[in-house]
Chain A
Amino acid sequence: MDTKTPLIEMKNMSISFGGVRAVDDVSVDLHPGEVVGLLGHNGAGKSTLIKMLSGAYQGTGDIYVNGEKVEIHNPRDARKYNIETIYQTLALADNLDAAANLFLGRELLTPAGTLDDDAMEAETRKIMGRLNPNFQKFSSPVSALSGGQRQSVAIARAVYFNARILIMDEPTAALGPQETQMVAELIQQLKADGIGIFLIDHDVHAVLQLCDRASVMKNGKLVGTVNIPDVTDDDLLSMIILGKNPGEAAA
């Protein structure tokens, strides 16, 4: 895997908010068809790190996509490189319907340049038919949807536009067991398509189950990156809680 060019490389990423170094010199990478977990306590800096990749925050450090250095100043730039994000808050406009949210910022237009709502709804029906066949509330504002339905709208938005790099920020936090299973299956499917996924979670078991590698953060610093098959959940927990890298301990 190391011989190939990584899909994403983030080198020496740092960002401060009012004197607090939220992310301090962190480097991570991601290969095609790979799921990399980002672990850490609340406030460890994992969401902040990933928001620099999705364009929500601007920090310092270098980002490479397919080995080429890129500048990501805003969410539009990130989308340009096929980096899609499913935010923990889902980032849905509650007053709009599923189709309007799915295409927000990338609306389909008629030849006259007006919104083609019908085409957007038809496309939304197609993709929701694959992701969540039970979904029927196409004309309701998303505020009227259940947690799982809202989640599937957010996922559909990320998947629809041919994402090559997918960032999932605690995608199962608000879901029941059945919907969690749905997300797990989706991740396997996307992996098979060669999409690289950053999975942010603080649930060690979810990461053990879904990820190929895990990078652990504590207090804004990277504790270490490990191959999941090589570690136990106790190893990961001690990295998260004590900030101790098992690789270093062994050496």
Chain B
Amino acid sequence: MQNSAKNFFSKLGIDARLLGMVGALVVLWIVFDLITGGRFLTPRNLFNLSVQTASVAVMATGMVFVIVTRNIDLSVGSMLGFIGMVVAAIQVQVLPDVLGLGHPLIWIIGVLLAISMGALLGAFQGWVIGYLTVPAFIVTLGGFLVYRGAMWWVTKGQTQAPLDATFRLLGGGAEGTLGETLSWVFGVIAAVAAVGIMLMSRRRKSSHGFTVKPVWAEGILMGLAGGLIICFVWVMNSYPIAKGAMKRIAAADGIELTEGMVWYHGVAIPVVILLAVTVCMTIVAQRTRFGRYVYATGGNPEAAELSGINTRLLTVKIFALMGALTGIASIIASARLNAVDVGLGTLDELRVIAAAVIGGTALSGGFGTIYGAVIGALIMQSLQSGMASVGVDAPLQSIVVGIVLVFAVWVDIVYRRRAGL
């Protein structure tokens, strides 16, 4: 029985680690749902969970590359705060005076500034690590302190709010979603794309004469991928927008509200950003030279260098990418809160590292997947939100998360040893 199940999954080509992570997530959700008496697995809670996960998950995809190359980045939380503060201060104090309040360029400038600031700061850290050969732990520990301090100097500790109305959409909330119709369009396109990619890869493989998965296995995978996407959109489209928010939106758009009218959220914009980042990063990891070099360098830095890979420049690029993703995460986090205070991003570096590690990224280098890190972030956030909704005290939450982190890595080590990796 056990053997036939193993055979089934190996034919599907799903590895045990992914299965374990998804299993853990499902168990977690069901347990919290039972304890809360059905309050966990509701469209409302799942919507919030997806939005809360986005910021950390975006950074976790970048942290995979950092950790795969045997580095670490402790600065992302502080960097997120610093970038958030600069971008917020500019859109609250500078741009409205120059361009006028609510000018459509404000959010674009904010987004570009956040991403380029992150890339530059990251590239600088990567240069110190790669070319001056200061260990990443030290460089980013320095960054952790510097950015948190710098953040305070930007506004002398003053909280910046409210942010630009368009910018705010990037953080989710009632307005910051695709809305019902667009969500369906998005879901259908994504599902078709997922199935299409699988079909194309299958055709390419068989044209080279490689053995491909059995048709039924491929069919199940395609059904799963398409079904999950549609299912997700359906859940997001089942979360009604509260009356107050509806009135606000209707007033802004000049729509007459009638009695009995119900609008639904749909997929939140930060989640769309996260999905786009995940797809891009997966392509980078699996289909580009850069990604190949990241994994090769992580597996054997000496071999990578002897193969002519410029590992120093690679380090700069990896940290620049990490920084750019931190910039994106900073946009999401600050837009969601519609304010930036000096505490923004505190402890995020540890959440991000934990997400990547729970997702199967090995600190010894060479192993780690993008989807794993995203699922890792989702597990972390589910655990925290779930405990909060059950009414677990904050101190106990930390204790549980800490224990889960160590336990997850231990399980991963045992799995690796058994699998002979």
Co-assembled chains A and B: yes
Q: How far is the CA of A11 from the CA of B289 in the complex (A)?
A: 37
Asked if B306 and A91 make an inter-chain contact with CB atoms under 8 angstroms apart, the answer reads: yes
Count A-B contacts at CB 8 Å. 84
Kindly list chain A residues whose C-beta atoms are within 8 Å of the C-beta of B305.
Answer: 56, 75
The reply on B299 being an interface residue by CB < 8 A is yes
Kindly list chain A residues whose C-beta atoms are within 8 Å of the C-beta of B296.
Answer: 93, 96, 100, 104
Asked if A91 and B289 make an inter-chain contact with CB atoms under 8 angstroms apart, the answer reads: no
The reply on A198 being an interface residue by CB < 8 A is no
The reply on B309 being an interface residue by CB < 8 A is yes
* B296 to chain A: closest residue by CB: A93
Stretch at the interface among B45-53, B178-186, B203-211: B203-211
A residues 192-221 near B (Cβ < 8 Å) are none
**Most chain A C-beta atoms within 10 Å of own C-beta, residue among B296, B298, B300:** B300
CB distance from A74 to the nearest CB of B (A): 7
Partner of B309 from A96, A101, A105, A109 at Cβ < 8 Å = A105
Q: A92-B300, A96-B299, A114-B287 are in contact. Are A87 and B306 (CB under 8 A)?
A: yes
The reply on B302 being an interface residue by CB < 8 A is yes
Partner of A114 from B283, B298, B420 at Cβ < 8 Å = B283
Asked if B299 and A95 make an inter-chain contact with CB atoms under 8 angstroms apart, the answer reads: yes
Asked if B295 and A96 make an inter-chain contact with CB atoms under 8 angstroms apart, the answer reads: yes
Kindly list chain B residues whose C-beta atoms are within 8 Å of the C-beta of A107.
Answer: 289, 292
Main secondary structure of the interface of B (DSSP, over half): helix
CB distance from B67 to the nearest CB of A (A): 13
The reply on B367 being an interface residue by CB < 8 A is yes
Q: A114-B287, A118-B204, A118-B210 are in contact. Are A93 and B308 (CB under 8 A)?
A: no
Asked if A144 and B298 make an inter-chain contact with CB atoms under 8 angstroms apart, the answer reads: no
Asked if B210 and A95 make an inter-chain contact with CB atoms under 8 angstroms apart, the answer reads: no
Q: How far is the CA of A169 from the CA of B255 in the complex (A)?
A: 78
Q: A118-B205, A118-B210 are in contact. Are A93 and B289 (CB under 8 A)?
A: no
The reply on A71 being an interface residue by CB < 8 A is no
Asked if B306 and A93 make an inter-chain contact with CB atoms under 8 angstroms apart, the answer reads: no
Asked if A115 and B300 make an inter-chain contact with CB atoms under 8 angstroms apart, the answer reads: no
Partner of A94 from B204, B287, B366 at Cβ < 8 Å = B366
Asked if B208 and A118 make an inter-chain contact with CB atoms under 8 angstroms apart, the answer reads: yes
Q: How far is the CA of A106 from the CA of B299 in the complex (A)?
A: 17
Kindly list chain B residues whose C-beta atoms are within 8 Å of the C-beta of A106.
Answer: 308
The reply on A70 being an interface residue by CB < 8 A is no
Q: How far is the CA of A215 from the CA of B270 in the complex (A)?
A: 66
Question: Can you list 18 residue pairs at the A/B interface with Cβ under 8 Å?
Answer: A87-B306, A89-B303, A91-B302, A91-B306, A93-B295, A93-B303, A95-B366, A96-B296, A100-B292, A104-B304, A105-B307, A105-B308, A105-B309, A115-B287, A115-B288, A115-B289, A121-B208, A122-B208
The 7 closest A-B pairs by CB, nearest first: A95-B299, A93-B299, A105-B307, A95-B366, A76-B308, A91-B303, A114-B287
